[in-house]
Each structure stands twice: as structure tokens, then as C-alpha cells.
């Protein structure tokens, strides 16, 4: 049995991407990022197949109808989703597959995995210490309009509430100190990291 995939979730601005990038940099060749599909347009510097698989609403809806996706969601009028083949591509390399999904996606994967697949992921939520801290982080990025910022904050409020649901996550990491959050994350994944290293 290969290493278990990791389902990483948490609101925008909680530091999930920062932790994920560091994990992949410090454990090169151990983790593989599962590239999601989206119908939104690429942002400057983003690459198709690396940041996302960019697609059309029609093509994505067809895939969803066929059952090609283990989770999908709509946010701000754009569709996002994780395809089974994207996960299989990473797992086939015998490395740890990281999925970055929202809280609704986590629920969908939990439901599907328990009856359809033998993936057995580790579910981790990265949360900000408070809504105030999160709002400051998002404002400091200066990438949002006020309207989209409010939408993200609303989504974050919901995310923080739902992440408290018993049994949804194996671990909830409160990221008020990046070093500490990173240590908690690597400690939790050390068994899986060792599996990959021993198999090399």
C-alpha cells in the first residue's frame, strides 16, 4: 500500500499555500500536488497543468456527469474540481498526493471515499487564529475587490464553523505561528514521508 493522500483544507488567507509550498520544497520528490480543474481564467504567472487544468464549463460539467471528479464546487461563478485521474497520476509515482480543497469538497470526498475508493486520505484543516487576522492577511495581499473580499470572508466564517464538526478532520492546525504550524504538519505526516523515502 502506497502513502496515503493528504486532503488539505482551510480558508483563503489561512496560510495553506505557504505551508504546502514549503512542505514540497523541503521534501522534494516526496509530495505531488494534485492539480485541480477550474473554469476561471488563469491569473498572471499561472500555468495550465501546473497551477490548474483550465477548462470550459461545458467540458467540466460533462466530466462531472460522467463521474470523473471526486469533488467539485462553484465559487464566484467559477467551477473547481478534483478529477480521479489527477489523483491517480500522482499516486502512480508512489509519492504523497496533496489535494487542496474547500470544506464542501472535504465532505464530498469523505462521503465518496468511504463507499467508492480505497484512498484513505489524511484530512487536515489549516485555520487562521481569528477572523480579524484573516481579514488583515487578505487585505494585505491587495488582490481582491471589496466585494470579492467580503465573499472570501463569508466563506472563511463558514469554513471555520464547519471545521469544528467532529470527525471531519484528522487534525486542525491553527496557524498563528508559521514555524509551529509547519512543525505540526510535518509531525503528522512523518509516517507517510518515511514510507516514500524507504521505497526510493
Kindly state the DSSP code that residue 7 receives in the 8-state scheme.
E
Report yes or no: 168 and 104 within 8 Å, Cβ to Cβ: no
Q: To the nearest whole percent, how much of the chain has pLDDT over 70?
A: 98
pLDDT digits (tens, 9 = 90+) for 135-169: 999 999 888 899 989 998 999 999 999 999 999 99
Question: Could you give phi then psi for residue 67, rounded to 5 degrees?
Answer: 85, 25
Looking at residue 11, which CATH number applies to its domain? 3.40.50.300
* Predicted TM-score (pTM) of this structure: 0.87
Catalytic residues: 43, 141, 152
Domain annotation covers residue 147: yes
Question: Could you give phi then psi for residue 80, rounded to 5 degrees?
Answer: -135, 150
Cβ count within 10 A of residue 27: 16
What is the reported pLDDT for 117?
Answer: 65
Domain annotation covers residue 40: no
Kindly state the DSSP code that residue 52 receives in the 8-state scheme.
B
The whole-chain average pLDDT of the chain stands at 92
What is the reported pLDDT for 34?
Answer: 94
Four-CA torsion 118, 122, 128, 131, nearest 10 degrees: 40
- Number of domains, the chain: 1
pLDDT bin (cut points 50, 70, 90) of residue 127 is: very high
More confident residue, 144 or 27: 27
What is the reported pLDDT for 55?
Answer: 97
**Residue whose cell numbers read 471555520:** 160
What is the reported pLDDT for 12?
Answer: 87
How many angstroms separate the CA atoms of 133 and 190, rounded? 29
Domain annotation covers residue 53: no
> Is the pLDDT score of 114 beyond 70?
no
pLDDT digits (tens, 9 = 90+) for 185-199: 999 999 999 999 998
Residue 106's domain comprises 6-34+95-199
Domain annotation covers residue 81: no
DSSP three-state, residue 57: helix
Domain annotation covers residue 128: yes
**Residue whose cell numbers read 505561528:** 177
Report yes or no: 99 and 121 within 8 Å, Cβ to Cβ: yes
Amino acid at each position: 500500500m502506497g502513502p496515503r493522500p493528504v486532503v488539505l483544507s482551510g480558508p483563503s488567507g489561512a496560510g495553506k499555500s505557504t505551508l504546502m509550498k514549503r512542505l514540497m520544497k523541503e521534501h522534494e520528490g516526496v509530495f505531488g500536488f494534485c492539480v485541480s480543474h477550474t473554469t476561471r481564467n488563469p491569473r498572471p504567472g499561472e500555468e495550465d497543468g501546473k497551477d490548474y487544468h483550465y477548462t470550459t464549463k461545458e467540458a467540466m460539467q460533462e466530466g462531472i456527469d460522467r463521474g470523473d471528479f471526486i469533488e467539485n464546487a462553484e465559487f464566484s461563478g467559477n467551477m473547481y474540481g478534483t478529477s480521479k485521474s489527477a489523483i491517480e497520476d500522482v499516486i502512480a509515482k508512489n509519492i504523497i498526493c496533496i489535494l487542496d480543497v474547500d470544506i464542501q469538497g472535504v465532505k464530498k470526498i469523505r462521503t465518496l471515499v468511504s463507499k467508492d475508493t480505497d484512498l484513505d486520505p489524511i484530512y487536515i484543516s489549516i485555520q487562521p487564529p481569528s477572523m480579524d487576522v484573516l481579514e488583515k492577511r487578505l487585505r494585505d495581499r491587495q488582490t481582491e475587490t471589496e466585494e470579492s473580499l467580503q465573499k472570501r470572508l463569508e466563506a472563511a466564517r463558514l469554513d471555520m464553523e464547519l471545521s469544528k464538526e467532529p470527525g471531519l478532520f484528522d487534525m486542525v492546525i491553527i496557524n498563528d505561528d508559521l514555524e509551529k504550524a509547519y512543525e505540526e504538519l510535518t509531525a503528522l505526516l512523518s509516517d507517510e514521508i518515511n514510507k516514500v523515502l524507504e521505497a526510493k
